[in-house]
Structure 1
C-alpha cells in the first residue's frame, strides 16, 4: 500500500516508520492516523521485523492533532470525529499487542495528542531539548486517547496534574527525570540511540520478549496478586530457546 503521510523503511530486522508532514510539524490528521493504523497492522504480522522505531520527519515528532485539518475533514465528510478517536485508540491496542517492541524517538514539539500517542509505545527516547506537554486545557478539550490514565501511571498523579493544569511543556531531560521517557540524549545522537537500543533488543529471544511484553502490560492493569497469578499461569511456546542455550554453552 502506498502511504502519503507516513514513510516506512526496513533496515534488516528494524522497521522505521516516519510521521511525514514536516511542513506542519507532523501535526496529526485523520488521514495520517488512519495510515498509521494500517501500517502497524502490516508490521504486526511481519516476522522479519524484530523492533519498530517511530520518529517524526523534519523538526518535530508531532505538534499534536491538526485542528484545522480535523475541521476540514469533518466539513468535507471524509472522516467523522469518531473516526480519529477510534483509530487512535486502535493504534494503542495494536502497539500493545504486537510482539515487536516499539520505540518512539521524540524530538522538537510533542504536544497533547502527540504526547498521548508517544505513551502508546513500549520504550521512548527523547532529545534533551524536546518539548513534551499536554495542552488539552488550553483548547478546552478533553483527552480521548488515554492521557488521563497513562500519564499519572508513568509520572505520578501530582506531576500529571501539574502538566495538564498548567499546559507548560517539559524538556526531554525533565521527562527522563520523572520517568516519562526512558532516556534523553542530544538531538544529534537520537537516531543512534534508537539503533543501539534496537540492536540490544534484537540480540535476545524475540519470543521471550513478546511474552514479557504481554505479561508487563497485563500485570500493570491489575493488582500485584492478580499479576502474579497471570505470570504463573501464562503458557507460551518459546521455540528459539534451544538456539540461545547453545549460544550460552559456546560462550562459557
Structure 2
C-alpha cells in the first residue's frame, strides 16, 4: 500500500509508504492522500491528522519517474486537500520540493534531527504550483525564502528551527511520540474552538493586520452568538 493509517486516540496517523521512491508523490499516492484526509475530516472520531513518511525520507516531491514517462503533471492543485481539522507534519527525513510544499500545508511541524528541507523547483527548471512561493516567505521571511527558492540549497533541522520553519526538532526515535503528544493536547481542547481557530488563522494569514483583526472580531461574535460552552471554564 502506498499509504498506511493508524489511529492513536483521536488522532489519525497517515504514513506515506513508498520508501524505495523516497515517498515520491505518484498519482496513486496523491489520490490516496486526498481520499484519506477528506474521510478524516468527515469522521467525528478524528480531531487531528498527523502526516509522516516511511523512513528514510519524509517526501521527495512529485514522482519524477512517473512524470518523465507520462509527461503529465499531477492533476491535483495541492498535495493535500484543505480540511477543517489541524494537520501536524512529523518530518522524519528529507522534505524536498513538492514534499516541502506538502509539509508547508501542515499547521504544525515537528522535525526529526534527520530532517532536511529544500525547494529545487528552479534547479529543475520548474515553477512551484502548490503554494510554495506564498507559504514559504510567510513562514521564514522574504529573504530566507528567496535563498531557498532561488538556490535550492538544503536547510538542516537545526537551521529550520532557528528560522521558524518548524515548531520543534527532536531525536529521530521520539518524533512520532512528540507529534502524537501534540495531537493529544489539541484533542484536549474544545474542538469547535479549535476548528474555528484553524479556519480563522488560515483565512487571516494573507490579510493586512486591520482586516485580520476585523475578521477575528466578526468570527468571535458569531462564535459567541452560537452559544458558549461554559463547562470548560474554571467553576463552570
TM-score by length of 1: 0.87
Alignment of 1:78-227 (within 5 A): 80-81=72-73, 84=74, 86-89=75-78, 91=80, 94-95=81-82, 98-227=83-212
Q: 2:232 aligns with which of 237, 244, 252?
A: 244
CA deviation after TM superposition for structure 1 residue 239, in Å? 6.5
* 1:47 aligned partner: 44
Partner-residue secondary structure (3-state), 2:78: helix
CA deviation after TM superposition for structure 1 residue 168, in Å? 1.2
Change in CA separation of 1:26 and 1:146 when aligned onto 2, cut-off 3 Å: same
Partner-residue secondary structure (3-state), 1:152: helix
Summarize deviations over 1:142-191 as a string: whole Å, max 9, x none.
Answer: 10001111111110111011112221111111111101111111111111
Change in CA separation of 1:103 and 1:239 when aligned onto 2, cut-off 3 Å: farther
Summarize deviations over 1:60-111 as a string: whole Å, max 9, x none.
Answer: 1111211111233x26xxxx42xx2x424272xx33xx23211000022111
TM-score by length of 2: 0.92
Higher helix share: 1
Partner-residue secondary structure (3-state), 1:236: helix
Change in CA separation of 1:144 and 1:35 when aligned onto 2, cut-off 3 Å: same
Change in CA separation of 1:42 and 1:132 when aligned onto 2, cut-off 3 Å: same
Partner-residue secondary structure (3-state), 1:211: helix
Contact 2:79–2:102 under 8 Å retained in 1: no
* Structure 2 gaps, min length 5: none
Change in CA separation of 1:165 and 1:196 when aligned onto 2, cut-off 3 Å: same
* Structure 1 gaps, min length 5: none
Partner-residue secondary structure (3-state), 2:106: coil
Change in CA separation of 1:88 and 1:107 when aligned onto 2, cut-off 3 Å: farther
CA RMSD of aligned residues (A): 1.8
CA distance in 2, matches of 1:115, 1:89: 12
* 1:66 aligned partner: 63
Summarize deviations over 1:14-73 as a string: whole Å, max 9, x none.
Answer: 10101010111101112211111111111111111011101001211111211111233x
Partner-residue secondary structure (3-state), 2:76: helix
